[in-house]
Every structure is written in C-alpha cells, then in structure tokens.
C-alpha cells in the first residue's frame, strides 16, 4: 500500500522541473485525500456517521491507493526521460537568437493587455446589468453560504503544518473579485475610470505582485493568490457537488429568509447610502486583515 507521506518529496522538490513538479503536486493531493480517508475510517470505527460527500470520498480509497502506487512507480522513468529530452534540446537552444526582437515582445505584451481589457469589459457590464428576482437572490446567497462552509471543511486536513483557510480569507478573495469586476457602490467615477481601475487590479493579480492591495494593508496580490491556489489544490475543487431537490432548496431558502428577518428585528443597523463608507468597505476589510 502507498505510504501517507514521503520525506524525499520535499528534499527533491527544489531541483525538480515543471514536469516532475506537476507529478509531485498530484501525489501530494492524492496523499492528502488518503489522509482524509483514513480519518473517515477512524470516525466510522468510533461510531460516527458520514455525510454523502464523505461516503463518496471513502469509496474512492482503492482508486486513490492505486494512483499513488502508479505515480510513485512512474516517477523514476519519467525523470530519466525528462533528462534525456533536455540533453537532446541543449544543442538546439544554443543556436537560438540570444537577442530577441524587443518590438515583438512589446507587441505581445500589448496584445495580452488588450485581451484582458476585452474580457474585463464583458465581466464588468455583465455584473452591472445582472438583475435577479428576490427568490433567486435568496437561493444564490444560500448556495454561496453553503459553498463557503464546504470550502473550509475540505481544508481542515493538511499534509503539512500549513495555516488553515478562514472566513476572512474567503472575504478577501470575494472583495478583490468585486474590485476586478465592478465599480464600488455609489461611486462618483465614470464607468470608463472604474473599468480602468479594474484593469489595474487584474494586471497586478496576473503579475503576482507583492504590492499591497490597498494602502496600509499587509495583504498583497501574491499572498491572496496563494490562498486561492490552496483552494484549487484541495478536494473541494474537484469534488462533484451534491444536487438537492427543488423542494429541499425552497425549504432551505425559507429558513434562510426567516433567519435574515430575525437578525433585522434584533436591531441590526439598516443599510445606508453613505458614499464614503460603502466605497471604502473593501479597503477596511484588507486593512483589518493586516
């Protein structure tokens, strides 16, 4: 049976190329899933019940073990094949032009920026013109709340002693996503200026900039990308969600509405149209996380 961890992985990772790094990343994900399965089996042994998603993961144990064994066996011949390929490519690379045309590089960069701006325009106005009925809005909020809980649940088992994701991490990802695709509420700037701000955020995100997202915050684009990469490397990203019947969804939305009304009666402050407060909400969020 495959082991749950391999000490040689962390030692050799620095010397690996992109091919072996990809294989190592897949192995780590499989071992993490194997660890979760072992914890589920321990829970069953203590008489604890599993939900449907956990049962589906538990049933995948034979496939997970087989994949780990196969990838570990594949690693040595794959490393040898990569070295052989690099040796053959070395003579060709030495004959390449060491001074590429700077005009071509500039043209390529300009084309990439134009493509990003083109896509952002669709996302920006798509979000701006998106109007939903109250019933659909409540269902959407309920689904997003459920997704947040699932994302944090899948992150609770880690192969290494890394910091777990938190609600604040999800808030910051959502806040930056809003800054990239929309104009702040009640903002006095034009759509053209707002879309330009969106583009600047998107460009810094793509550059993995170590620049604070807002002035006075320690949260950078690079650090937030690490949080999102952590989510996309978890089982949450690849697990098929369990579809609920429309009747169950309607019942859950009813409970969600009742809870929201109860919070309102308990004295929560009503929404205001204070321009300064609304446009600075995301900035306060990032500074609070510093």
pLDDT at 137: 83
Instruction: For residues 168 and 243, state if they share a domain.
Output: yes
Residue at which a domain ends, from 44, 66, 92: 92
Q: Are 212 and 219 in contact (CB under 8 A)?
A: yes
Q: Give the mean pLDDT of 257-261.
A: 54
Q: Evaluate whether 124 touches 193 at the Cβ level (below 8 Å).
A: no
Quick one: what percent of the chain has pLDDT higher than 70? 69
Residue 184 or residue 224, greater confidence:
224
Does 47 reside within a domain? yes
| Torsion (CA) 96, 98, 101, 105 in degrees, nearest 10 | 90
Same structural domain for residues 275 and 146? yes
pLDDT at residue 154 greater than cutoff 50: yes
Q: Tokens 């429309």 map to which residue?
A: 246
Residues 274 and 169 in one domain: yes
Closest CA relative to residue 206, chosen from 198, 217, 218: 198
Greatest mean pLDDT among 99-103, 221-225, 264-268: 221-225
Residue from 134, 143, 132, 133 nearest 252 by CA: 143
Tell me: do 61 and 145 sit in the same domain.
Answer: no
Neighbours of 160 (CB within 10 A): 8
Contact by Cβ (8 Å): 4, 158: no
Q: Residue 10: which pLDDT band, with cuts at 50, 70 and 90?
A: very low
Q: Which of 92, 123, 147 is the last residue of a domain?
A: 92
Whether pLDDT at 195 is above 80: yes
The pLDDT assigned to 142 comes to 86
Q: What is the pLDDT of residue 273?
A: 40
Contacts of 250 (CB under 8 A, 6+ apart): none
Judge whether 98 lies within some domain. Answer: no
Average pLDDT over residues 14-23: 75
CA dist 69 and 75 (Å) reads 10
Range of the domain at 62: 7-92
What pLDDT was estimated at residue 3? 45
Q: Does residue 40 contact residue 61 with C-beta atoms inside 8 Å?
A: no
Domain tally, the chain: 2
Q: Are residues 111 and 86 in the same domain?
A: no
Residue 203 lies in a domain: yes
Which residues 6+ apart lie within 8 Å of 77 measured at CB?
none
Q: What is the model's pLDDT at position 77?
A: 86
Residue 14 has pLDDT above 70, yes or no: no
What DSSP character marks residue 79? H
Give the confidence band of 276 by pLDDT, cuts at 50, 70, 90.
very low
Domain identity same for 283 and 217:
yes
Q: Does 77 share its domain with 109?
A: no
Indicate if 136 and 196 belong to the same structural domain: yes
Q: Is a pLDDT exceeding 70 seen at residue 250? A: no
Rounded CA separation 166/150 (Å): 12
Q: Residues near 13 by Cβ (< 8 Å), separated by ≥ 6? A: 21, 24
* pTM confidence score: 0.54
Do 82 and 193 belong to one domain? no
Mean pLDDT rounded to a whole number for the chain: 78
* Each residue's pLDDT tens digit, 84-141: 887 887 766 555 555 556 665 666 677 888 899 999 999 999 999 998 888 788 888 8
Which three-class secondary structure state does DSSP give residue 220?
strand
80 and 117 fall within a common domain: no
């Amino acid at each position: 049976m495959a082991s749950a961890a391999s000490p040689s992985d962390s030692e050799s990772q620095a010397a690996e190329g992109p091919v072996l790094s990809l294989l190592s990343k897949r192995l780590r994900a499989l071992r993490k899933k194997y660890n979760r399965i072992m914890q589920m089996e321990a829970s069953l042994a203590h008489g604890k019940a599993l939900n449907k998603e956990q049962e589906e993961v538990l049933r995948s144990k034979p496939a997970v073990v087989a994949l780990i064994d196969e990838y570990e066996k594949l690693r040595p011949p794959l490393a040898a094949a990569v070295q052989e390929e690099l040796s053959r490519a070395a003579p060709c690379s030495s004959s390449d032009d060491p001074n590429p045309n700077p005009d071509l590089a500039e043209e390529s960069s300009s084309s990439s920026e134009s493509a990003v701006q083109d896509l952002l325009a669709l996302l920006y106005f798509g979000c701006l013109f998106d109007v939903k009925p109250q019933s659909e809005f409540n269902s959407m909020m309920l689904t997003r709340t459920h997704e947040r809980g699932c994302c944090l649940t899948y992150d609770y088992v880690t192969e290494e002693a890394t910091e777990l994701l938190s609600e604040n991490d999800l808030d910051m990802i959502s806040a930056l996503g809003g800054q990239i695709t929309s104009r702040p509420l009640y903002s006095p700037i034009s759509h053209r200026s707002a879309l330009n701000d969106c583009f600047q955020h998107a460009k810094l995100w793509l550059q993995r900039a170590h620049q604070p997202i807002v002035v006075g915050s320690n949260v950078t684009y690079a650090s937030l990308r690490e949080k999102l990469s952590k989510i996309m490397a978890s089982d949450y990203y690849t697990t098929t969600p369990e579809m609920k019947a429309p009747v169950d969804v309607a019942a859950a939305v009813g409970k969600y509405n009742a809870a929201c009304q109860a919070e309102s009666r308990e004295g929560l402050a009503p929404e205001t149209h204070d321009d300064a407060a609304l446009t600075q909400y995301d900035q306060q969020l990032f500074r609070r996380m510093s």
